[in-house]
Amino acid sequence: MIVAEHLTKRYGAKVAVDDVGFEVRPGLVTGFLGPNGAGKSTTMRMIVGLDRPDAGSVTVSGVPYRELRSPLTEVGALLDAKAWHPGRTAERHLLGLAATHGIGKDRVREVLEITGLESVARKRVGGFSLGMGQRLGIASALLGDPHTLILDEPVNGLDPEGVAWVRRLLRGLAAEGRAVLLSSHLMSEMAQVADRVVVLGKGRVLADQSIDEMLGVQGGPVVLVRGTGVDRLAHLLASDDVTTTQIAPDAVEVSGVPAPRIAEVAVGAGIGIEELAPRKATLEERYMALTSDAVEYRTEAVR
């Protein structure tokens, strides 16, 4: 379990993490999302004691990371996938880590097996692909059989089979009652694995909710309306709760009005409707809407 309260970190005048509070609960995969520079890495570094907060606090299993007696058995972290000596073999790396924490060789063999690295266990990690490196990072995080796991972009560099494997692994770890914090830029990836998401933007929490809540909030379903003269709907349906967006010369998207009411208004105004299709907003759309004001580096449209 991780609990962050009023967590704040400044770099000079820049407030990287600004009064952030959230919980990573046992038995759940909590997704940690946000655009580049949102403060995810800084927050994760503070959780594992690599950075000190300027204000607020964050605890793992009820105490600050630095006060944990046996950190590796409480929390496993994959933050920098390249944090090892390139000349060492995967097995040596894990055995070294295990020795400093009183963890036996059997557990090293187990994590090599769990992460599918047995066949390359005696190879030097300097020659590892990005995906193999990620697996070794995950093996290191699992070594102490911890209650809490923190994984920064664990699927980065993995092929589709590897991505599916990480998903199964994380779901399994949560099902065993562990608290899992998983960061990613990809909302689509989160939808497949997370129970909840904490969305950061410009150092602040923009959303902290379950995936279902995220899909259910913000104005109900969007209705696609196609036909001749549908552009007139914006005026006909105008009210504070209604948004009408023209997406093609003959099509608009309307939110805030049920489809039958749109049909009624359109028929009354003599608009010829060819298509009227309610559709659920995707998680990706919710995420983009939430973070649109918080993107630090935006790509300008090519003119």
Ligand X SMILES: Nc1ncnc2c1ncn2[C@@H]1O[C@H](COP(=O)(O)OP(=O)(O)OP(=O)(O)O)[C@@H](O)[C@H]1O
User: How is the beta sheet containing 2-11 ordered, strand by strand?
Assistant: 14-24, 2-11, 55-60
Which conformational region is residue 192 in: left (phi greater than 0), alpha (psi within -120 to 50 degrees), or beta? alpha
**Contact with ligand X (CB under 6 A) among 4, 16, 58, 136:** 16
Question: How many of the chain's residues bind ligand X (CB under 6 A)?
Answer: 11
Nearest residue (CB) to ligand X, 38 versus 257: 38
Burial 107-134 (b: 16+ CB within 10 A, else e): bbeebbebbebeebbeeebeebeebbbb
Strands 148-152 and 75-78 turn out to be parallel
User: How is the beta sheet containing 75-78 ordered, strand by strand?
Assistant: 75-78, 148-152, 179-184, 29-33, 196-201, 204-210
Q: Least separation, in Å, of the C-beta of 149 and ligand X?
A: 18
Region of 33-41, 131-139, 207-215, 284-292 interacting with ligand X (CB under 6 A): 33-41
**Contact with ligand X (CB under 6 A) among 14, 235, 298, 303:** 14
Q: Least separation, in Å, of the C-beta of 35 and ligand X?
A: 7
Q: Which two tokens stand for residue 125?
A: 């990690």
> Taking CB under 6 A as the rule, which mask of x and - marks residues 34-73 in contact with ligand X?
x-xxxxxxx-------------------------------
Nearest residue (CB) to ligand X, 79 versus 94: 79
Task: Determine, following the binding rule CB under 6 A, whether residue 31 of this chain makes contact with ligand X.
Answer: no
Q: Least separation, in Å, of the C-beta of 37 and ligand X?
A: 4
Q: Which two tokens stand for residue 252?
A: 């608009």
Nearest residue (CB) to ligand X, 34 versus 154: 34
Q: Least separation, in Å, of the C-beta of 31 and ligand X?
A: 13
Is residue 7 within 8 A of residue 175, CB to CB? The reply is no
Question: What residues line the site for ligand X (CB under 6 A)?
Answer: 11, 14, 16, 34, 36-42
